[in-house]
């Protein structure tokens, strides 16, 4: 059994495919005056529930499960609304951190995150984040240069604008994957530090418990010795009294 044959998408003439201010796709029905995130299901034409990112089609739940067989299409990804296919990046470009479909044009200087023009203006640069400053991403990255020491093959990063020198790769030059990896490493280090701190506390508590145990053992041993000495003294006194009584009877 091969992959499903997708029908040709023929929209109802009353449906208009459009974009909102944040560049989200939606469909407007000119007859019912109702807007939906998805066009009708591409098979049954009933209201759709999912957008398949691999098929680039909308489905109702029933047809999505029915048509996506577990052998050929089980790994297809879906979401609840249609998404624009990502643009092809040019060398040195990276995707917008918000929509992940368009090339980033601005770098937020407060968050150090890349945004396309639409997402920066309509998604990020609003409310409490309105004060965040940004600059074109190509100018943001322009100051750093890589200088290689061919003797030991070590790269040094030099900022031609500020004169700053770094051995580690500057955050401005990190890819999203590198940023995520560094964040994960930081989280793991913090977790390990927390475990070590807890371990040290437990060790200190164990030392206190061991000292209390040793003191209890010493006190118990001392008490047992004292009781034994008293018992032996009492026994000797009783034996002496008994011997004295016997000698008097003679």
Q: What is the pLDDT of residue 222?
A: 92
- 141 Cβ neighbours under 8 A, 6+ residues apart: 92, 107, 172, 173
Task: Please provide the size of the chain in residues.
Answer: 250
Cα separation, 12 vs 104, in Å, equals: 35
CB of 29 closer than 8 Å to CB of 11: no
Separation CA 94–CA 141 (nearest Å)? 12
pLDDT of residue 4: 57
Question: What long-range pairs does 105-110 form, CB within 8 A, spacing at least 24?
Answer: 105/136, 105/137, 106/134, 106/135, 106/136, 106/137, 107/134, 107/135, 107/136, 107/137, 107/140, 107/141, 107/172, 108/132, 108/133, 108/134, 109/133, 109/134, 109/135, 109/140
Other Cβ atoms within 10 Å of 153 Cβ, number: 7
pLDDT score of 123: 72
**pLDDT value at position 56?**
85
10 Å Cβ neighbour count for 223?
10
Q: Using H for helix, E for strand and C for coil, what is the string for 1-14? A: CCCCCCCCCCCCCC
Express each pLDDT in 191-222 by its tens digit. Answer: 999 999 999 999 999 999 999 999 999 999 99
Question: How much is the pLDDT for 250?
Answer: 66
For the chain, residues with pLDDT lower than 50 are 1-2
């Amino acid at each position: 059994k091969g992959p499903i044959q997708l029908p040709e998408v023929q929209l109802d003439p009353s449906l208009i495919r459009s974009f909102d201010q944040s560049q989200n796709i939606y469909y407007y029905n000119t007859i019912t005056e109702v807007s939906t995130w998805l066009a009708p299901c591409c098979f049954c034409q009933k209201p759709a529930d999912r957008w398949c990112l691999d098929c680039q089609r909308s489905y109702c739940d029933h047809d999505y499960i029915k048509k996506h067989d577990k052998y050929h299409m089980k790994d297809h990804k879906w979401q609840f609304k249609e998404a624009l296919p990502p643009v092809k990046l040019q060398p040195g470009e990276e995707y917008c951190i918000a929509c992940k479909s368009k090339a980033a044009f601005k770098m937020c200087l407060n968050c150090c995150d890349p945004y396309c023009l639409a997402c920066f203006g309509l998604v990020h640069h609003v409310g409490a984040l309105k004060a965040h400053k940004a600059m074109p991403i190509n100018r943001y990255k322009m100051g750093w240069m890589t200088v290689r020491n061919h003797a030991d093959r070590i790269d040094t990063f030099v900022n031609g604008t500020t004169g700053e020198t770094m051995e580690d790769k500057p955050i401005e030059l990190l890819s999203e994957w590198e940023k995520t990896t560094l964040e994960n490493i930081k989280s793991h280090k913090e977790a390990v530090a927390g475990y070590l701190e807890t371990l040290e506390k437990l060790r200190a508590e164990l030392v206190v418990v061991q000292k209390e145990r040793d003191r209890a053992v010493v006190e118990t041993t001392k008490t047992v010795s004292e009781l034994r000495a008293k018992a032996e003294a009492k026994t000797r006194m009783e034996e002496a009294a008994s011997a004295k009584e016997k000698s008097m009877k003679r």
